Structure 1
């Protein structure tokens, strides 16, 4: 008989973290059984997709065997983004909730011109929807593995779209909470761009994982207070309509017509009201570069730092005025669908709608809106500072359920790859 996760794959469904943990806590399945299935999927699919930096089968099995199956994520396998410090609060708290790390996922190659790729030291990470395409980046391997059904969750950090871009390219969920939502091992950097977070196949999984990882930590005592799982399904109350503003682009480059069309058609069918509200943002590129340099310890001249602060302040005010009129702002997550995996030497502009909200620190989530030419289109939902629950509730109304990629459904019965 097929195991539950293999049955889900053949039916075009993914097993969620919430359902896996419930089965492990109830004794329907053991954590070791779940981990073995994840390792099997990783060994079958990584030779094709190249999403692993490292697979830790021995460590994952040992963790599963000693697990007390009581946590909110009991037995849930996940991937840690490559080069994440071992004492990172996001990892520490997932492990404490019973999740089991099966390895580390690929990220962009150091020094790459564009960061929307993954690299395992030998080959570039591929997109499960089309092996000629990139899964995005820099959380490339995590998104590819989640889209392929290997794990339901992958951790990462987002300083310019590193969670949302790969989520959009791979047809899954990527969430960057309000700046400081999840503590970071280095504490609060000078530039303040990066927010730790998750990529997942299911919105509720990402919400739960974010709640578990949230709250101040000894390594980052300035992080925001613990964020309880919100009751997003019923927001807003009173039967009122959800009002959103839509912008097909926030920069100079326009979104591809096919991407724009998919999102407009989805908004027309979703339970939201699209209203026209003015929004004038200052260009973000220079400010982002200055703040990124500060985060990396490179410093900045006073005039450049002051200009970056002015851009941040102006855009925060402009967005506050927008949110006085609407509940959320909706944009394409990326201007294009997934580009070629072999375009890593090109300067690719696709994530412009993302880094605006790293500079300002607003919560932003990417969910699937549909397909264009057979590839996923992501829609980004942004809400006021601290209103993470609003962004997620609006995203729930807009998102569509995509099937697993055909490649993954075909591989469900494939034998384990030889080691």
Structure 2
């Protein structure tokens, strides 16, 4: 894997001044680790960590123990970016690799960009409202938020779950296999019964985003990966409830709404194993901010409920922005989710590479 490490460091040196995905790069430490990692399961696989504190995370420690080699810390939002949709890298503001005038999403901004530009195949992330899935969607890579409580998280509210940004669902499975003790693959039988909700019952979705994601769903059905079932999923808008939980000031109303959505999702997953939706209601916005649209509208319900959820590349809107397909399964079925995601990737067009 020393060749892979040198290739990773070379691409960081070439593209990061433009993309600003990294706050720090550790070539000397990475080379030293690689020399002792060749006989371990990951064999010196280069990966990136989210933020300067990421090297101390549970996931990073597990990956290093398995022979992974951290190459650097990726950007997260800096001061003044309260909407947390772009990072601050060593060279400046992190940009979307497909549209530099647009945000890459956040808060795992640099991790998504590093994977999208093939600087690494895998980067750690964390997802408290969509912070893995949104940048994965807007940068055209795979992103996984694990089941709430499955892996250790420093977030005392219980909203944030560890996750990974990866070049593919198969590479994301590499992450989970080495981070989660006792992980075992769970093959799934195709076609998987699935319901598609374009808006989860409350969101207003950009027509171009809706069209891209719906076309991906139809392609999966035609390929025999999913069998669409007529089972509308109508949730209550969780925005105020999420904010109350984040503030640690839940109210009777927020608790009732959370319980109602949990009942709806529990009833759905008792009938079908897979829920599909767009990842975001909007395409990547400009660096000035998101305006009045919550990019988290379709993601944060599953931080409240604790369900595992992933973003798979679905295609591009006419203005060249990636859009993501959200896949959600029942709590604790992360392995099954990854198996479905691998089948989804095989049926959809290969992920395009932004930089040669």
Q: Give the length in aligned residue pairs.
A: 348
Structure 2: gaps of 5 or more residues? none
Residue 293 of structure 1 is matched in structure 2 by 247
Distance in 1 separating the partners of 2:196 and 2:337: 14
* RMSD across aligned positions (CA): 1.9
> Do the aligned partners of residues 73 and 348 (structure 1) sit closer, same or farther apart at CA in structure 2, a change above 3 Å counting?
farther
Q: Of the candidates 295, 298, 304, which is equivalent to residue 353 of structure 1?
A: 298
Map residues 10-409 of structure 1 onto 2, 5 A cutoff. 24=1, 31=2, 33-65=3-35, 67-84=36-53, 86-120=55-89, 123-184=92-153, 186=154, 189=156, 191-214=157-180, 226-232=181-187, 235-236=188-189, 241-250=191-200, 252-270=202-220, 271-294=225-248, 300=249, 304-340=250-286, 342-344=287-289, 346=291, 348-373=293-318, 374-399=320-345, 400=348, 401-405=350-354, 408-409=355-356
Whether the 8 Å contact between 2:85 and 2:109 is mirrored in structure 1 is yes
> Do the aligned partners of residues 345 and 162 (structure 1) sit closer, same or farther apart at CA in structure 2, a change above 3 Å counting?
closer
Residue by residue over 1:230-255, the C-alpha shift from the partner in whole angstroms, topping out at 9 and shown as x without a partner, is 143xx12xxx6311111111364421
Distance in 2 separating the partners of 1:86 and 1:261: 39
> Do the aligned partners of residues 306 and 49 (structure 1) sit closer, same or farther apart at CA in structure 2, a change above 3 Å counting?
same
Distance in 2 separating the partners of 1:85 and 1:206: 17
Structure 1 segments (4+ residues) deviating >4 Å: 345-348
Distance in 2 separating the partners of 1:71 and 1:144: 27
Distance in 2 separating the partners of 1:142 and 1:257: 28
Structure 1 residue 81: Cα displacement: 0.6
Distance in 1 separating the partners of 2:96 and 2:182: 32
Structure 1 residue 280: Cα displacement: 3.0
- Look up the SS of the partner of 1:102 in the other structure: strand
Residue by residue over 1:52-77, the C-alpha shift from the partner in whole angstroms, topping out at 9 and shown as x without a partner, is 11111221122223x14122221111
Q: Which deviates further from its counterpart, 283-292 or 396-405?
A: 396-405
Whether the 8 Å contact between 1:266 and 1:398 is mirrored in structure 2 is no
> Do the aligned partners of residues 348 and 83 (structure 1) sit closer, same or farther apart at CA in structure 2, a change above 3 Å counting?
farther
Q: What's the TM-score, normalizing by structure 1?
A: 0.78
Residue by residue over 1:318-352, the C-alpha shift from the partner in whole angstroms, topping out at 9 and shown as x without a partner, is 01111222221100011122222x22374542221
Specify the structure having the higher radius of gyration (Cα). 1
Structure 1 residue 257: Cα displacement: 1.2
Structure 1: gaps of 5 or more residues? 1-23, 25-30, 215-225, 295-299, 410-419
Whether the 8 Å contact between 1:262 and 1:371 is mirrored in structure 2 is yes
Distance in 2 separating the partners of 1:336 and 1:266: 17
